[in-house]
Amino acid sequence: MTKQRDSATYFHILKIGDHMKKTLDDSQIQFLRNYPNPRTSLYKEYAEKGLLNPSEGSRMEQLPIYVFLMAPKTKNAYLEAWKAKKMATGGALHENILKASLENDDDVAEVIEQKTNGKIDSMWLRMAIRAIQKSRNWREDVMGISRVSTLEDIPNGAFLACYEKIPDFSTIQEKRLTCAVMDPSPESENLINQMFPNRIQPCIKGYAIGRRGSSIQCKVFGPEVVQCERGRTPNSISLAALFFYAKFNSRGAVKEKIYVVDGFF
């Protein structure tokens, strides 16, 4: 199958979709969605008729079949992404997108649209699709956060992520939490500056916390924070990377859980 950058590929996908729409009834379409073997048999039939190229070991030749079988919103978003040459491809991604779209059409379409608009990259797209397949909250799963109701639910010495506002300062100190506040409010920033001399001010990419913006200012403070080299302003790609930088002044990703409190993220 020709590359995505070849505009003829987009029309080829549409052509196969039109053919499937004319030759398959609803029960056949549902059967194909539910079972992989009939999809393989249909591909072999189309390859023999010259509608699709022989696979030669590549799963990409079956892509037009999978696009047609995707849930409606996902299919539209996928085609728009392909038309704009912004769709990630390779391996079994189109197969996983089909499966995930049948679990949650709205979420998969949203993820693809975010990739098309440059809000997330291919790695995040793949991670989100895997999370949706497992019926999980893809935003929280990809961000790597554990949501709790109160600060008391967080273990002592853990990592805490907040957005704009911060929960009770005295509890954060008592529990020796290392805290990252994204886009802190003036009130939060003043409190941090007054009470926590051990702090740094890095940045994080907006998509890493499910928000817009290529670079969001942060305040990170607490017992695990080390002073960073002057002039360095990292733009972390994840919360795990942000806390790793705060702790070690280098690149990497912490393995510990990162907690958020309801109403503060």
Same structural domain, 167 and 231? yes
Query: How confident is the model at residue 122, as a pLDDT?
Result: 86
Number of domains making up the chain? 2
- Cα distance between residue 105 and residue 70, in whole Å: 9
0.85 surpassed by pTM: no
Closest listed residue to residue 16, CA positions, set 37, 45, 46: 46
Domain boundary among 96, 111, 142: 142
In a domain, 1, yes or no: no
Same domain membership, residue 182 and residue 238: yes
Range of the domain at 206: 145-261
User: Is residue 96 situated within a structural domain?
Assistant: yes
In this structure, the answer to whether residues 157 and 233 fall within a common structural domain is yes
Three-state secondary structure call for residue 220: strand
SS percent in the chain: helix, strand, coil, step 5: 50, 10, 40
* Shared domain check, 128 and 12: yes
Q: Are residues 193 and 153 in the same domain?
A: yes
My answer on whether 33 and 136 are in the same domain is: yes
Each residue's pLDDT tens digit in the chain (265 positions)? 545 456 788 999 999 999 999 999 999 999 999 999 999 999 999 999 999 988 776 678 899 999 999 999 999 999 999 999 999 888 789 999 999 999 999 999 999 998 998 878 888 899 899 999 988 888 888 888 999 999 999 999 999 999 999 999 899 999 999 999 999 999 999 999 988 888 899 999 887 887 777 789 999 999 999 876 555 667 898 999 999 999 998 889 999 999 999 999 9
Which of 83, 108, 142 finishes a domain?
Answer: 142
- Say yes or no: 165 and 105 in one domain: no
Residue 2 domain-assigned?
Answer: no
Query: Are 236 and 113 contained in the same domain?
Result: no
- Is there a domain that residue 243 lies in? yes
Q: Which parts of the chain fold into alpha helices (H)?
A: 7-23, 26-34, 36-48, 63-69, 72-83, 93-103, 105-116, 122-133, 138-143, 169-174, 186-195, 239-248
Is 174 found in the same domain as 113?
no
Tell whether 248 is covered by a domain: yes
Same domain flag for 194 and 105: no
Instruction: Say yes or no: 106 and 176 in one domain.
Output: no
Among 90, 124, 142, identify where a domain stops. Answer: 142
Q: In one letter, which amino acid is 32?
A: L
Residues 107 and 195 in one domain: no
